[in-house]
Amino acid sequence: MTQHNPYSPADDPTWHLVVEGFDPALEPTIEAVMALVNGYSGTRAALEEGSEVSRPSTFIAGVFNLPDAPQAAELDEPITELVVAPDWSRIRIMVAGEELRIGHVELLSQRRVLDLRTGILEREWRVCDAAGRITHLRSLRFASLDNRHALFQQVTLTPENYAEQITFEALADGNVANQNNTRNIEITGTRALPDGALLEARTRDGSYRMAFATHAALRTSADALLDGEPIVDDQQIGMRWTWQAEPNKTVTMQKVVAAWTSREVDDPAGAAATLLQQLALTDDVALFRSHAEAWAARWQSSDVVISGAPATQQQVRWALYHLIGAANPADPRASVGARSITGERYRGHVFWDNETFVWPFYLFTDPQTARALLMYRYHNLHGARHKAQAFGYRGALFPWESADTGEETCPTFMLSSGERVAVLTLTEEQHISSDIAYAVVQYRQATGDEQFFLDYGAEMLLEIARFWASRAMLEDDGCYHIRTVIGPDEYHEHVDDNAYTNVMAQWTLRQALHAATELESNYPSRWHALSTQLDLRPDERENWQRVADSLVTGFDEQTRLFEQFAGYHQLKEIDLTGHDNSVATIDAKLGWGGMQKTKVLKQADVVMLLFLLWDSLPSDVFAPNFRYYEPKTTHDSSLSPSFHALVAARLGDLPMAERYLRQAATIDLDFTREGLAGAAGGVHIAALGGIWQALAFGFLGMHPTDDGLRFRPHIPAHWGALQMMIQWRGSQLRVTAQADGAVEILVESGNEVTLAVGDAAWQTVAPGGVFSA
């Protein structure tokens, strides 16, 4: 490595997230929103030198540990959790024996900038010690998107007004724990390497091994290398330099880190040492360039431009930064947890948040990632079969919470005032299986990847349909019912015939029947193999048809309303005026039991259904249902506002759509919001995926269909235009919709594409061609 300054930030503020100063209360949130993410690792933006409130956590996607005892007071049993890995960017600086750490020294100024365009976190700060010595520091960190196992850090130090001895340590620190103080890893060895040092660890349950190799150098501004001594301690590795500093003489430390785990290779230590050797020889400019180019390529196919609304533009780019960084197209065995790889809330577990909220972003901007995430579910089909069987059903019931093994990881009980309270989402929130089936069908439609469907998708779809057919019960009224569930609105438990659950189950059964017929006639040998493997006989398909045809949906032909679940209309109305979920969620006011007696909703439920099945529902159901359920919804879940923005936009209610979009965008970015709204436990990645969907499917009005892509845009006048990059069946589209309704679509590359706007007829457009309407 040689010393250069490879990095120059973008001028445009819509590509930045900037935080000035230091407020200990906000630090946990800032660490999450400014986290460095590359789909493989997530590093919270904690101060490198640490502070009383800093939690310098790095997570590696898919690396979980099951502690041997309950790791939190509210837990009745230990629960698998995403592991905090070694802190690769730790520094320790002593000036005349005084540690440069907030608390020991006074912070004069601080500015942190996350460059969304290049995924680089820059920090500049000045500190003053008790003797009046002022030190000016700058740091820069990134987790390479080009080589996801490579991490980079640079720290520049300038003594402003003193000559003293300085000691600088650049470390990878294995002495880490999760927030609940559980040490989920143990260090199994440290040793010197020709170019640096190596730290090896394993998760305490023995499931994974990991290795971090570091190489660091310190140079003067004249590019002279300072001699340092390697640090190879029990828990830490790194380098230490001590020198006599002079006023205004700047030194720069550069560190590269290679991280591998046994999830990817049998010998993570060997892989880390080999990569470190390459990194140590790589010019930092080249390292930066390949990283920046990888980000540029992702932005090229995912950027959204709202030029007339800079604040929204910046919030959207921040959301896209986190979406791009949440998943790894090369990893088919990890998925996106509820807080991505930026925090510990929900212990890194994967919910329906992924398929229904986050995943469509990848489907339409980076289908390889979408495929990898579906493969995660395919590889975990055994866990879904196991859960169905354990509950007395057939087929595949995917876990409500999933981690690395595919088995259910939702706690069975929680402890509340010493009492064991069953966690009903585990047993009752079953719509997740249909949500995964929906993604399988969407993937096939949007990519035309028939091979995936034949090899994996069809099997998932059939197994999910089989589950629903065994789950629904024929009753005396001659109808099938699905009793005792929780729908997306988790404020009502043990409900019967939740419209979302039933209609999505019905949809899944019909899709599976369609797929079976198609496979049978178009791919007979695959059908033979699959139906034999699954022991799927014709009478079972006939039963699926009966269940689909006679499953109650809660739809009232007269009012055009879906009743959210049986008996919902009889519940008590509640006026939500003044409800502010950043202060408290509504259950705090009504009590859990009280809430069940009211119509109050936690999050979009029927409203989600409207969106998902928009093109197969009658057009006169959207407005009545939205107007009925929207005023009853608290949005106490972060998943809710973006889909209200989406549906409001589709209905042409732009003031409401914008209001909900703003609400979704500030869940994490309004740092003063506490509690549920705060991002301290990690960014609300589902809300961020929802923002992209609100823009694509709501404002831009994109309707993916088997025939092609149709757009029905509704663009706020002050936005001027909305431009989005969309991938569709191997083609890259640049879609621009104006506030006056005009649409222009450039087919940048790929194949011929079938497009339409409004109710107009389909048109085909060749690559390089422009479609205007």
Interacting positions 392-411 with ligand IFM (CB under 6 A): none
Rounded to the nearest 5 degrees, what angle is found at the Cα of 315, between the Cα atoms of 368 and 12? 95
Q: Following DSSP, what letter does each residue of 628-663 receive, concatenated?
A: HHGGGB---STTHHHHHHHHHHHTT-HHHHHHHHHH
Rounded CA-CA distance 598/586 in Å is 11
462: number of Cβ within 10 Å: 28
Beta pairing class for 709-711 and 753-757: parallel
In the complex with ligand IFM, the residue whose CB is nearer, 352 or 507, is: 352
Is 490 among the catalytic positions? Answer: yes
SS3 category, 539: helix
Region of 38-46, 138-146, 286-294, 345-353 interacting with ligand IFM (CB under 6 A): 345-353
In the complex with ligand IFM, the residue whose CB is nearer, 148 or 339, is: 339
> Backbone phi, then psi, for 436, in 5-degree steps?
-75, -40
In the complex with ligand IFM, the residue whose CB is nearer, 16 or 602, is: 602
Among positions 64, 260, 295, 351, the unique one binding ligand IFM when judged by CB under 6 A: 351
Among the listed residues 344, 401, 490, 630, the single catalytic one is 490
Give yes or no for residue 338 binding ligand IFM (CB under 6 A).
Answer: yes
Query: How far, rounded to the nearest angstrom, does the alpha carbon of residue 367 sit from its chain's CA centroid?
Result: 16
Are 635 and 609 contacting, i.e. CB atoms less than 8 angstroms apart? no
Among positions 639, 702, 725, 753, the unique one binding ligand IFM when judged by CB under 6 A: 639
Looking from the CA of 225 toward its CB, the CA atoms found within 13 Å total: 9
Interacting positions 29-58 with ligand IFM (CB under 6 A): none
Among positions 208, 241, 318, 352, the unique one binding ligand IFM when judged by CB under 6 A: 352
Region of 22-30, 322-330, 349-357, 514-522 interacting with ligand IFM (CB under 6 A): 349-357
Region of 33-41, 311-319, 351-359, 757-765 interacting with ligand IFM (CB under 6 A): 351-359
Category of 598 on φ-ψ map: left (φ > 0), alpha (ψ -120 to 50) or beta: beta
SS3 category, 683: coil
Whole-number minimum distance, CB 139 to ligand IFM, in Å? 32
In the complex with ligand IFM, the residue whose CB is nearer, 453 or 500, is: 500
Give yes or no for residue 719 binding ligand IFM (CB under 6 A).
Answer: no
Looking from the CA of 672 toward its CB, the CA atoms found within 13 Å total: 0
Rounded CA-CA distance 543/539 in Å is 6
Give yes or no for residue 353 binding ligand IFM (CB under 6 A).
Answer: yes
Q: What residues form DSSP beta bridges with 140?
A: 122, 154
In the complex with ligand IFM, the residue whose CB is nearer, 36 or 639, is: 639
Interacting positions 460-499 with ligand IFM (CB under 6 A): 488, 490
Region of 320-328, 348-356, 496-504, 761-769 interacting with ligand IFM (CB under 6 A): 348-356
CA dihedral of residues 647, 650, 652, 655 (deg, nearest 10): 40
Give yes or no for residue 686 binding ligand IFM (CB under 6 A).
Answer: yes
Give yes or no for residue 350 binding ligand IFM (CB under 6 A).
Answer: no
Region of 78-86, 344-352, 372-380, 501-509 interacting with ligand IFM (CB under 6 A): 344-352
In the complex with ligand IFM, the residue whose CB is nearer, 516 or 686, is: 686
**# chain residues binding ligand IFM, by CB under 6 A:** 10
Give yes or no for residue 562 binding ligand IFM (CB under 6 A).
Answer: no
Rounded CA-CA distance 498/492 in Å is 10
How many Å is the Cα radius of gyration of the chain?
A: 27
570: DSSP letter = G
Largest CA distance in the chain: 90
Rounded to the nearest 5 degrees, what angle is found at the Cα of 469, between the Cα atoms of 463 and 475? 170
Among positions 321, 346, 393, 491, the unique one binding ligand IFM when judged by CB under 6 A: 346
- Those residues whose C-beta lies under 8 Å from the C-beta of residue 412, and which sit 6 or more positions away, are 76, 77, 422, 423, 426
Whole-number minimum distance, CB 338 to ligand IFM, in Å? 4
Give yes or no for residue 59 binding ligand IFM (CB under 6 A).
Answer: no
Whole-number minimum distance, CB 505 to ligand IFM, in Å? 18
For ligand IFM, the binding residues (CB under 6 A) are 338, 346, 351-353, 488, 490, 637, 639, 686
Catalytically annotated residues = 490
